[in-house]
Amino acid sequence: MIDVLLGLQWGDEGKGKIVDYLAAKYDIIARFQGGPNAGHTLYVDGQKVVLRTIPSGVFQSHCLNLIGNGVVIDPVSLQAELTQLVSIRPDVLERLFVSQKAHLILPTHRALDAASEAAKGVDKIGSTLKGIGPAYMDKTGRNGLRVGDVLNKDFDKKYEQLKQKHVQMLRQYNYEVNWQEWEAEFFESIKYLRSLQIVNAEYWLDAHIKNGKKILAEGAQGSMLDIDYGTYPFVTSSNTIASGVCNGLGVAPSRIGEVYGISKAYCTRVGSGPFPTELDNEVGEALRKAGNEFGAVTGRSRRCGWIDLVALRYTVMLSGVTQIILTKADVLDGFKELYAGVAYTIEGQETNEFPFDICGTDLSPVYKQFDGWEQPISECNSYETLPESFKKYCNFVENYLGTRIAYISNGTGRDQLLITPQ
* Nearer to ligand GDP among residue 104 and residue 332 (C-beta): 332
Site for ligand GDP contains 12 (CB under 6 A): yes
* Nearer to ligand IMO among residue 113 and residue 333 (C-beta): 113
The one-character DSSP state at 411 is: S
Binder among 132, 316, 340, 405 for ligand IMO (CB under 6 A): 132
Q: Which does 125 bind (CB under 5 to 8 A by kind): Mg ion, ligand GDP, ligand IMO, none?
A: ligand IMO
Strand partners, 65: 29, 96
Residue 267: helix, strand or coil by DSSP?
strand
CB 216 within 8 A of CB 23: yes
Site for ligand GDP contains 109 (CB under 6 A): no
Sort strands 337-346 and 363-371 into parallel, antiparallel or unpaired.
antiparallel
User: Shortest approach of ligand GDP to residue 15 CB, angstroms?
Assistant: 3
What Rg, from alpha-carbon coordinates, does the chain have? 21
Residue of 3, 12, 330, 333 marked active site: 12
Q: Considering only residues 68-87, where is the footprint of ligand IMO by CB under 6 A?
A: none
16: left (phi over 0), alpha (psi -120 to 50) or beta: alpha
**Nearest residue to 329 via CA among 287, 284, 360:** 287
Binder among 67, 296, 311, 417 for Mg ion (CB under 5 A): 296
Distance CA 202, CA 210 (A): 12
**Nearest residue to 14 via CA among 411, 420, 286, 418:** 411
Q: Is 166 a catalytic residue?
A: no
Site for ligand GDP contains 219 (CB under 6 A): no
DSSP string, 126-180: ----SSHHHHHHHHHTT---BGGGGGSTTHHHHHHHHHHHHHHHHHTSS----GG
User: Shortest approach of Mg ion to residue 11 CB, angstroms?
Assistant: 6
The span from the first CA to the last CA of the chain, in angstroms, equals 22
Site for ligand IMO contains 248 (CB under 6 A): no
User: Shortest approach of ligand IMO to residue 151 CB, angstroms?
Assistant: 28
Site for ligand IMO contains 240 (CB under 6 A): no
Interior CA angle at 235 toward 231 and 239, to 5°? 100
Q: Considering only residues 29-58, where is the footprint of Mg ion by CB under 5 A?
A: 39
Peptide bond into 233 cis (omega under 30): yes
282: left (phi over 0), alpha (psi -120 to 50) or beta: alpha
Interface characters, 303-342, with ligand GDP (x: CB under 6 A):
------------------------xx-xx-----------
What amino acid occupies position 76? Answer: V
Site for ligand IMO contains 125 (CB under 6 A): yes
Interface characters, 258-297, with ligand GDP (x: CB under 6 A):
--------------------------------------x-
User: Shortest approach of ligand IMO to residue 261 CB, angstroms?
Assistant: 13
What amino acid occupies position 91? Answer: D
**Nearest residue to 265 via CA among 324, 323, 352, 319:** 324
Q: Is 40 a catalytic residue?
A: yes
Residue of 3, 20, 40, 113 marked active site: 40
**Nearest residue to the partner ligand IMO, using Cβ:** 271
Q: Considering only residues 35-64, where is the footprint of ligand GDP by CB under 6 A?
A: 39-41
Binder among 2, 8, 12, 269 for Mg ion (CB under 5 A): 12
Q: Which residues bind ligand IMO (CB under 6 A)?
A: 7, 10-12, 37-40, 125-128, 130, 132-133, 220-222, 225, 236, 270-271, 296
Q: Which residues bind ligand GDP (CB under 6 A)?
A: 7, 11-17, 39-41, 296, 327-328, 330-331, 409-412
Catalytic amino acids?
A: 12, 40
